[in-house]
Amino acid sequence: MENRLIRWVKAGRQSLKKSSAAKEAKNGLIKSDRIVLVEGTFSPLEAADVLLSLLNDKIKFHTVQALNLRDRQAEDNQRSERRIAELKEAKQHIKDLVVQARNDGLEIVIDSLIDIKLRERIPKPHTN
């Protein structure tokens, strides 16, 4: 019996194939969208909660990726490890900004957009 997630993914692929007639020529781009992730004015404590939660989730995601790829794909694993280091630096930077805002009695304004693009899959070259 097929898992619901597998059926959902297969159905999505079918729909994507049907809509591929409307492709844009640039880099196989099929669709582009923009989502407002975070928008507003926050106290330093609220801003820390929102931003650090996002960063912690991204760090956790890349940590799991790195563990899964450790033995199989060294190049992808190195990318995840570099990204974890970058995210940890960003986390420290945000902590510094939050402490500065708190100490100076300031609010923090956050505007975060996510650009999402659907494009044709680019096959990875086989390495032997």
How far is the C-alpha of 52 from the C-alpha of 57, rounded, in Å?
A: 8
SS3 3: coil
* pLDDT per position as a tens digit, 111-124: 999 999 998 887 77
Residues 6+ apart with CB under 8 A from 108: 41, 42, 43, 44, 46, 47, 97, 98, 101
SS3 41: strand
* pLDDT per position as a tens digit, 42-101: 999 999 999 999 999 999 998 988 888 776 666 667 888 899 999 999 999 999 999 999
Asked if 34 and 115 count as a contact pair (C-beta separation under 8 A), the reply is: yes
**Which segment of 3-12, 32-41, 87-96 scores lowest on mean pLDDT?**
3-12
What are phi and psi for residue 33, nearest 5 degrees? Answer: -145, 160
Tokens of 75: 């190049």
pLDDT higher for 106 or 79? Answer: 106
Asked if 55 and 87 count as a contact pair (C-beta separation under 8 A), the reply is: yes
pLDDT value at position 121?
84
Beta-bridge mates of residue 77: none
Q: In this model, does residue 104 exceed pLDDT 70? A: yes
Q: What is the pTM assigned to this prediction?
A: 0.67
Which residue ranges make up each domain of the chain?
44-107
pLDDT value at position 106?
98
